[in-house]
A = this chain, B = another copy of it.
Amino acid sequence: MKSKAMVLEAFRESLSLIEVEIPPLEEGQILVKLQASGVCGSDVHMWNGEDPRVPLPIILGHEGVGTVVDLKGVKRTVDGDPINPGDNIIWNRGVTCGKCYYCTVLKEPSLCENRRVYGINIPLNEKPYLNGCYAEHIILRTGTDIFTAPENINPSILVSSSCSGATCAHAFDMLTEHLTGKTVVVQGPGPLGVWAVVFARSLGAFQVFVIGGSTERLELCKDFGATNILNRHETTPGERKSAVLSVTHGRGADLVIEAVGAHGAVEEGIGLLRKGGTYLSTGYAQPAGLESIDFYRDVVFRNIRIQGVWVNDTSHLKQAINLIQQNPTLFEKLITQKFSLEETNEALIAMKEKKVVKAVLEM
């Protein structure tokens, strides 16, 4: 049996549709027929050769939901349910070793030294070949953490929990305090920013500002719970700061989440914080140069915490899935365009040109 896949063979070139012979399954492997595959903003960077992790050739795509076709051995979901052909599943895109210092002593599998990620760092020429989600099928390897896909939720809606949703859960998980009554600022109204709005609100935040450059995206954030939106093209940094100070009795935001990765975001973001506030940085997922910080004024004197957030683990995926489960209709709005597998190049271009907020391939 063969499976179609869209393969990146050279950076900045179109992905090619090829047919891959599906190998016989080895112990612990699961063959999955993909139903939907999210196109992530970082896929555009990988396509452009900006992500140092990516080997060639590769089937990109790390956000998948699909149906079990076959499996070898007894496999169970994280919840302990046996996995059978016909089950709809979703999985942690990162497969961790469970044995290294980060996995065992620090219990931070997201930092695992041997983390493999479908569609990001496992090339096409490594067995079992079907290692990414821009394909008809994917073969999940031993060690993949799997959840039953919640019933009655469209797979295309669910895919975004895999990456931006789970990363966002990781970010909020680093807070040790509740957000009830707190003021949060989100920098960047893309998928990561939308998820940040949802998490902030679902954890009790009272006021959620979003700063961005697209009116359309900012309005979308309002649908997801943002209470105040600030268009970069229509406000000065000073006006934005005043807006935050005006609702916080002059103190500033309790939490700022950077979900944009653009030069200068750090300086503005930290400046919006109250003393003792936290800056969660999630958007610098590719090299983007240096940011300048006045450590006296902006870190030490104001007792600021800056926390980088890299990917996620299975606990975070579980949280993101649950948020969709709590309001699937809302999350439909995040998916602004659907494409077929054959249209993957068009989907990447649409994401690159920011014509869509979130593109999904439906197989």
Contact = CB atoms under 8 A, between A and B. Distances in A.
A322 B101 contact: no
A290 B288 contact: no
Q: Which of A202, A292, A303 has the most CB of B within 10 A?
A: A303
B107 A78 contact: no
This chain's copy number in the assembly = 4
Contacts of A302: 308, 310
B300 A285 contact: yes
B106 A78 contact: no
A325 interface: yes
Interface stretch (A8-16, A233-241, A276-284, A332-340): A276-284
Contacts of A287: 294, 296-297
A308 B300 contact: yes
Contacts of A72: none
Contacts of A294: 287, 289-291
B295 A300 contact: no
Interface string A299-311: 1111111111110
A180 interface: yes
Contact of A145 (B99, B284, B299, B309): B99
Interface residues of A, number: 82
A267 B346 CA distance: 41
A181 interface: yes
Interface stretch (A33-41, A58-66, A121-129, A168-176): A168-176
A251 B295 contact: no
Contacts of A321: 181
A102 B275 contact: yes
A104 to B, nearest CB: 4
Nearest to A322: B181
Contacts of A100: 78, 80
Can you list the 10 inter-chain pairs with the closest CB atoms, starting with the nearest? A181-B322, A299-B308, A98-B98, A104-B314, A284-B295, A300-B308, A180-B319, A306-B306, A284-B296, A284-B300
Interface of A: 76, 78-81, 92, 98-102, 104-111, 113, 143, 145, 169, 172-174, 176, 178, 180-181, 199, 202-204, 206, 249-251, 261, 266, 275-276, 281-310, 313-315, 318-319, 321-323, 325-326
